[in-house]
Amino acid sequence: MHHTHRRARFAPRVLVVPAALGLLAAGAPPAAAHTDLDSSTPAAEASLAEVPESVTLTFSDPMSQKYAKVA
């Protein structure tokens, strides 16, 4: 009888934990993983007679050179 009582108390916990994790995952807001390009010099879509000496990009959020890539 002692084992039956222990199982009866343990069973709801087994169901509650996965249900709680599922609710947390479903209710989590999406992460903003990307920043926006605010401006560039030369301007986007500009027609240039020659290759510019440099290109300046201004983003909406601070950028880390470790993770940034311009292609």
- CB–CB of 33/52 below 8 Å? no
Element (H, E) at 16: helix 2-27
Q: What is the pLDDT of residue 21?
A: 77
Secondary structure (DSSP) of 44-68: TT---SS--S--EEEESS---TTT-
Q: State the Cα–Cα distance between residues 50 and 2, nearest whole angstrom.
A: 85
pLDDT in tens, 7-42: 666 666 677 777 777 777 776 666 666 788 899 999
Its pTM stands at 0.47
Nearest to 36 by CA among 61, 56, 71, 66: 61
